[in-house]
Amino acid sequence: MPFSVEFYKKPTIQVAKNLLGTFLAHESTQGMAVGRIVETEAYLYNDPSCHGFRGETPRNKPMFGPPGHAYIYFIYGMYHCFNVVTAPVGVGEAVLIRSLEPVEGIDLMQQRRQRTAIHELASGPGKLVIAMGLTREMNGANLITSPLKILPRESFPQKYPARKLPVVTTTRIGISSGNHLPLRFYLKDNPFISRK
């Protein structure tokens, strides 16, 4: 069962931390792909590096909509990044999903990525969008009712039994403003994060 909207209504930094250890699942016509979220970044309305900072535009529209939806945008002419929308309607905030640990549908991910090494499949925001088969058309998708969902930490108890998950907090990657803010979060010692 996916999270209800209550999960996404909490403060954005809280959601960014709570997403660690949960699972992103996409059921496509090609098959099911599941990845464990191991690295996130928070983007806040009053932060110049946040797409929502200068107000709503056609591109960032989903950020200003209800929480619990996808915000997928095109970057560097070649890639897309996937975000989870947070904050109330009218407030443009989101959590960037930066890396996944492949869990299910690994053969499908390898096919989509044209790579065999497990560590290369989804250890970066552009990579995971490809591995999971996310497309531009899924921008704005409802993460509770659409084929793209987020599942709680307890969803795969045989592989990931309940335990404390130490979280490291540090600065974000690839931005040119707000660099000093402690808004990047990842699971300590996890080998699937994009960068140390």
Partner DNA sequence: AAACGGATGGGCT
Partner DNA sequence: GCCCATCCGTTTG
| Footprint on this chain of DNA (rule: CB under 7 A) | 41, 43, 49-52, 54, 57-60, 63, 71, 74-79, 81, 83, 94, 96, 113, 115, 120, 124-128, 172-176, 194
Residue 114, Ramachandran bin (φ over 0: left; ψ between -120 and 50: alpha; else beta):
left
What is the closest distance, in whole angstroms, from the C-beta atom of residue 173 to DNA in the complex?
5
What is the closest distance, in whole angstroms, from the C-beta atom of residue 158 to DNA in the complex?
29
Cβ-based nearer residue to DNA, 77 or 157: 77
What gap in Å lies between CA 4 and CA 151, rounded to an integer?
A: 10
What gap in Å lies between CA 33 and CA 158, rounded to an integer?
A: 18
| Distinct helix (H) and strand (E) counts, the chain | 4, 8
What is the closest distance, in whole angstroms, from the C-beta atom of residue 154 to DNA in the complex?
27
Distant-in-sequence, close-in-space partners of 193: CB < 8 Å, separation ≥ 6: 38, 39, 98, 99, 123, 186, 187
What is the closest distance, in whole angstroms, from the C-beta atom of residue 34 to DNA in the complex?
18
Cβ-based nearer residue to DNA, 113 or 160: 113
Cβ-based nearer residue to DNA, 4 or 57: 57
Cβ-based nearer residue to DNA, 3 or 43: 43
What gap in Å lies between CA 34 and CA 132, rounded to an integer?
A: 8
What is the closest distance, in whole angstroms, from the C-beta atom of residue 157 to DNA in the complex?
29
Structure tokens at 147: 């084929």
What is the closest distance, in whole angstroms, from the C-beta atom of residue 159 to DNA in the complex?
24
User: By three-state DSSP, how is residue 48 classified?
Assistant: coil
Cβ-based nearer residue to DNA, 57 or 135: 57
What DSSP state is assigned to residue 87?
Answer: S
Cβ-based nearer residue to DNA, 94 or 134: 94
Strand pairing class (167-170; 23-28): unpaired
